[in-house]
Copies of this chain bind each other. A is one copy, B any other.
Amino acid sequence: MEKDILIEFGKTLRRLRTEKSISQENFAAICNLHRTYISDVELGKRNVSLENIKRMADALQMNISELFMEVEK
Protein backbone atom coordinates (compact mmCIF):
# COMPACT_ATOMS: atom_id res chain seq x y z
CA MET A 1 0.00 0.00 0.00
CA GLU A 2 1.18 3.55 -0.70
CA LYS A 3 0.73 4.70 2.93
CA ASP A 4 3.39 2.19 4.05
CA ILE A 5 6.06 3.96 2.04
CA LEU A 6 5.49 7.13 4.10
CA ILE A 7 6.00 5.19 7.33
CA GLU A 8 9.13 3.44 6.02
CA PHE A 9 10.53 6.69 4.63
CA GLY A 10 9.93 8.50 7.94
CA LYS A 11 11.55 5.75 10.05
CA THR A 12 14.58 5.66 7.78
CA LEU A 13 14.94 9.44 7.75
CA ARG A 14 14.91 9.48 11.57
CA ARG A 15 17.47 6.66 11.73
CA LEU A 16 19.87 8.27 9.25
CA ARG A 17 19.51 11.70 10.86
CA THR A 18 20.21 10.40 14.37
CA GLU A 19 23.11 8.24 13.12
CA LYS A 20 24.68 11.49 11.91
CA SER A 21 23.91 13.14 15.29
CA ILE A 22 21.89 15.90 13.66
CA SER A 23 19.04 17.30 15.79
CA GLN A 24 15.61 17.69 14.23
CA GLU A 25 16.03 21.47 14.55
CA ASN A 26 19.40 21.51 12.81
CA PHE A 27 18.19 19.14 10.13
CA ALA A 28 15.19 21.39 9.45
CA ALA A 29 17.50 24.40 9.20
CA ILE A 30 19.84 22.61 6.74
CA CYS A 31 16.81 21.61 4.62
CA ASN A 32 15.22 25.06 4.93
CA LEU A 33 12.04 23.38 6.17
CA HIS A 34 10.09 23.65 9.45
CA ARG A 35 10.99 21.43 12.39
CA THR A 36 7.33 20.40 12.77
CA TYR A 37 7.28 19.36 9.10
CA ILE A 38 10.38 17.17 9.62
CA SER A 39 8.74 15.71 12.73
CA ASP A 40 5.57 14.87 10.77
CA VAL A 41 7.59 13.31 7.92
CA GLU A 42 9.51 11.15 10.41
CA LEU A 43 6.17 9.95 11.81
CA GLY A 44 4.92 9.04 8.31
CA LYS A 45 2.21 11.71 8.51
CA ARG A 46 3.23 13.69 5.42
CA ASN A 47 3.15 12.72 1.78
CA VAL A 48 6.54 14.32 1.16
CA SER A 49 7.19 15.85 -2.26
CA LEU A 50 10.12 15.12 -4.57
CA GLU A 51 11.61 18.61 -4.05
CA ASN A 52 11.64 18.05 -0.29
CA ILE A 53 13.00 14.50 -0.66
CA LYS A 54 15.87 16.08 -2.64
CA ARG A 55 16.52 18.63 0.12
CA MET A 56 16.57 15.87 2.76
CA ALA A 57 18.87 13.63 0.71
CA ASP A 58 21.22 16.61 0.19
CA ALA A 59 21.16 17.34 3.94
CA LEU A 60 22.15 13.70 4.58
CA GLN A 61 24.82 13.97 1.85
CA MET A 62 23.26 11.08 -0.04
CA ASN A 63 21.81 10.56 -3.50
CA ILE A 64 18.05 9.95 -3.54
CA SER A 65 18.73 6.39 -4.81
CA GLU A 66 21.04 5.76 -1.82
CA LEU A 67 18.39 7.12 0.54
CA PHE A 68 15.76 4.74 -0.91
CA MET A 69 18.17 1.80 -0.75
CA GLU A 70 18.11 2.43 3.01
CA VAL A 71 14.31 2.77 3.00
CA GLU A 72 13.89 -0.52 1.10
CA LYS A 73 16.43 -2.54 3.08
Contact = CB atoms under 8 A, between A and B. Distances in A.
User: Main SS of chain A's interface residues?
Assistant: helix
A43 interface: no
**Count class of interface residues, chain A:** 20 to 34
Contacts of A63: 68, 72
Interface string A44-63: 00011111111100000001
A9 interface: yes
Given A64-B71, A64-B72, A69-B65, A50 B9 contact: yes
A64 B71 CA distance: 9
A6 interface: yes
Interface centre among A9, A68, A72 (most CB of B within 10 A): A68
